[in-house]
Amino acid sequence: MANTENHKIIRVNMTEMSVNIKDFREDWKYLGGRALSARILLEECDPGCDPLGPKNILVLAPGVLSGSSAPTSGRLSVGCKSPLTGGIKEANVGGNPGQDLLRLGYRAIVVTGQPAAREKRWGLEIKPEGVRLVAADDYAGMWNYASCEKLFSHYPQTASAISIGPAGERMYKSASVACTDRERERRPARHAARGGVGAVMGSKCLKWILVDPGKAPTRKPANPSAFSAFHKKFSKDYLAARHKTFEWGTSAVIPVANMLNTFPYRNRTAGRNPHFEGLDGARIRESFEKRGGGMHNCMNGCIVKCSNMVHDKDGNYVTSALEFETLTLLGSCCDINDWEEVAILDRLCDELGMDTIEIGAAIAVLMDSGGMQWGDANAAKALLKDEIAKGTDLGVLVANGVSSVGRKRGHHRVPMVKGQAVPAWDPRSMKATGVTYATSAMGADHTAGLVINPAIGGEAAVLASQESQIVNAVCDSSGFCLFLQPSIDEIRQFYNAFFGDELSNEALADIGWQCLQEEWEFNRRAGFSSEDDDMVKCLREEGIGPDNAIKFDIPRDLLAKAKVRQPVSDTLFYGTAAG
């Protein structure tokens, strides 16, 4: 019978340099990923703490169904108090570590404290035989790809890794946490990128986490026949219809996004890029035949396969995946309109361990304020390689994000919410998504509740945002990928077959709403108020589209309704997750 009675939490105290394995609470059975991270942070982390100090807590939690055979269900949530926003943060990531952790029975890793010797580096080794901290000084300063290659030379092919690059070690506020993918090379190309979670891992002097499940079996459902039947039905239905959206990855949406005024150009001074063809994912797809590369899945058991593997003209691997958000922020927002140049910038961000959205937005503000020429890809690459990588004053300025650059440059156009850069989907043309940016505890984050519908505004936009935020919170807690687009009803059916329970749609939606409430409560205790739940002034006042008439115009009294539970509709239970 599937249950949680043998599940554990790994508790790592970096002050005491100790590792303790604790039982997982039975009443947390349906808490995984984002919801589990929110609960632990609210109960155990001081919201007023220094995000880079010893009192902050780093949580790494696989989803509820990770480690099972449910399709595309191995996502990992990385949570902490964000050094970028000062509030709670959860960043979700693919790759194999989430699957591997729960195959070993670990529902979370909770890292507290800081070592007295701040110059030291440590690794956390997780194997079937046990968990231990190991010295990792010889990995200090290494870029992610070289670090993981060195690490894997000491472990079997079954192992996966979670790591930070130099940006995390230097505690830059844009720093990400990398996870290795399922390819034979096990590249650190999947990133929990947003909110500076890599800086918190760096503040713990934890360079990497190695997870080797060995021969640990896949988790078994309580009702194998029901689980298998629904697995087959869901997968068949998904591949026949929904999969078409992501068949060629997120980069394929660029022409449509441009048409809808949500492909921001030159630091969002326009919603359409006149040179969008140079960034269109179709160009990437066309390269596969001659260069190699292609579409692949980043984790075991994935049926979405949305990740494009990009090669250069000589057929050498460059990066994976080159996604819509990266092509928008590092490309269009900076007027860099060549996907091959953006691929190199993406690889540099992955190597250093940084959020491509935050870095792209920061460079765009630097360009917009006269600090770099528009479209200068070589200068952007040099900024990453020669400034950020070496920790110069300019490098630190940009690596600390869009707020850092805007404040130093005294610029008036700094697209951010709660200190975090606005993603590609523009809140002026996608008003319901703008409501999410304004009201989510995460700050501007499309994965918190993406609604791609330019036709709705006003109260309808607020309701659509709230429903999307609930659905996405449930999805991010389940282990399912947002690109699998599961509904609450479908997640419920997987849960019931897996656990042998009779969970209702209402109960599952309540778990999602409780997750949102706990995140908002953490922020309230950290000092946030309703004044912080708003859109940045430049996106309210500066328009895009015909006659520059498209602006974010949801009044603040309506925004407040997003945090008050609205009447439940069928769209909440049967609408799909989106990110």
CA distance 100 to 490: 24
**SS3 annotation, 294-310:** EEECCCCCCCCCCEEEE
Whether the CB-CB separation of 535 and 436 falls below 8 Å is answered with no
Q: Is 229 a member of any domain?
A: no
b/e per residue 188-220 (b: at least 16 CB within 10 A): bbbbbbbbbbbbbbbbbbbbbbbbbbeebeebe
Region of residue 268 (left: phi > 0; alpha: psi -120 to 50; beta: else): left
Number of domains in the chain: 3
pLDDT of residue 3: 55
Q: What is the pLDDT of residue 7?
A: 96
Burial bucket for residue 65 (CB in 10 Å: 0-12, 13-18, 19+): buried
Per-residue pLDDT, 246:
85
DSSP string, 23-88: EPPGGGTT--HHHHHHHHHHHHS-TTS-TTSTT--EEEEE-TTTTSSSTT---EEEEEE-TTTSSE
Residues 150 and 259 in one domain: no
In a domain, 216, yes or no: no
Contact indicator for 146, 47 with CB cutoff of 8 Å: no
Residue 324 is assigned to a structural domain of this protein: yes
CA distance 16 to 313: 50
Q: Are residues 374 and 447 in the same domain?
A: no
* pLDDT at residue 1, rounded to an integer: 47
Within 58-188, strands assigned E span 58-62, 76-81, 88-93, 106-112, 122-127, 130-135, 160-163, 177-179
Task: Give residue 2's pLDDT.
Answer: 57
Residue 22: CB atoms within 10 A of its CB come to 11
Q: How far apart are CA 386 and CA 73, in angstroms?
A: 39
Residues 128 and 268 in one domain: no
**Shared-domain flag, residues 85 and 162:** yes
Domain co-membership, 300 together with 363: yes
The reply to whether 194 and 254 lie within a common domain is: no
Per-residue pLDDT of the chain (579 residues; tens, 9 = 90+): 455 568 999 999 999 999 999 999 999 999 999 999 999 999 999 999 999 999 999 999 999 999 999 999 999 999 999 999 999 999 999 999 999 999 999 999 999 999 999 999 999 999 999 999 999 999 999 999 999 999 999 999 999 999 999 999 999 999 999 999 988 899 999 999 999 999 999 999 999 999 999 999 999 999 999 999 999 999 999 999 988 888 999 999 999 999 999 999 999 999 999 999 999 999 999 999 999 999 999 999 999 999 999 999 999 999 999 999 999 999 999 999 999 999 999 999 999 999 999 999 999 999 999 999 999 999 999 999 999 999 999 999 999 999 999 999 999 999 999 999 999 999 999 999 999 999 999 999 999 999 999 999 999 999 999 999 999 999 999 999 999 999 999 999 999 999 999 999 999 999 999 999 999 999 999 999 999 999 999 999 999 999 999 999 999 999 999 999 999 988 999 999 998
Q: Domain of 551: which CATH number?
A: 1.10.599.10
Does residue 166 fall inside a structural domain? Answer: yes
Count of Cβ atoms closer than 10 Å to residue 569 Cβ: 11
- Tell me the β-bridge partners of 122: 135, 206
Residues 269 and 376 in one domain: yes
State residue 244's pLDDT score: 85
3-state secondary structure of 426: coil
Tell whether 151 is covered by a domain. yes
**368 & 466 share domain:** no
Does residue 3 lie in a domain region? no
Which residues constitute the domain of residue 143?
8-211
User: Do 410 and 436 share a domain, yes or no?
Assistant: no
Domain-embedded: residue 69: yes
Q: Say if 225 falls within a structural domain.
A: no
Q: How far apart are CA 577 and CA 570, in angstroms?
A: 14
Domain boundary among the residues 362, 391, 416 is at 416
Residue 239: the pLDDT is 94
Say which CATH number the domain at 181 has.
Answer: 3.60.9.10
Q: How far apart are CA 34 and CA 475, in angstroms?
A: 9
Phi, psi for 352 (deg, rounded to 5):
-80, -20
Pick the last residue of a domain from 416, 439, 455: 416
Q: What is the CATH number of the domain that holds 342?
A: 1.10.569.10
User: Which pLDDT belongs to residue 84?
Assistant: 98
Residue in the block written with tokens 């140079």 = 278
The secondary structure element, H or E, covering residue 574 is: helix 570-574
The domain boundary, picked from 188, 211, 234, lies at 211
For residues 119 and 173, membership in a common domain is answered with yes
Same domain, 339 and 435: no
- Other CB atoms within 10 A of residue 410 CB: 7
Looking at the fold, whether 203 and 304 belong to one and the same domain comes out as: no
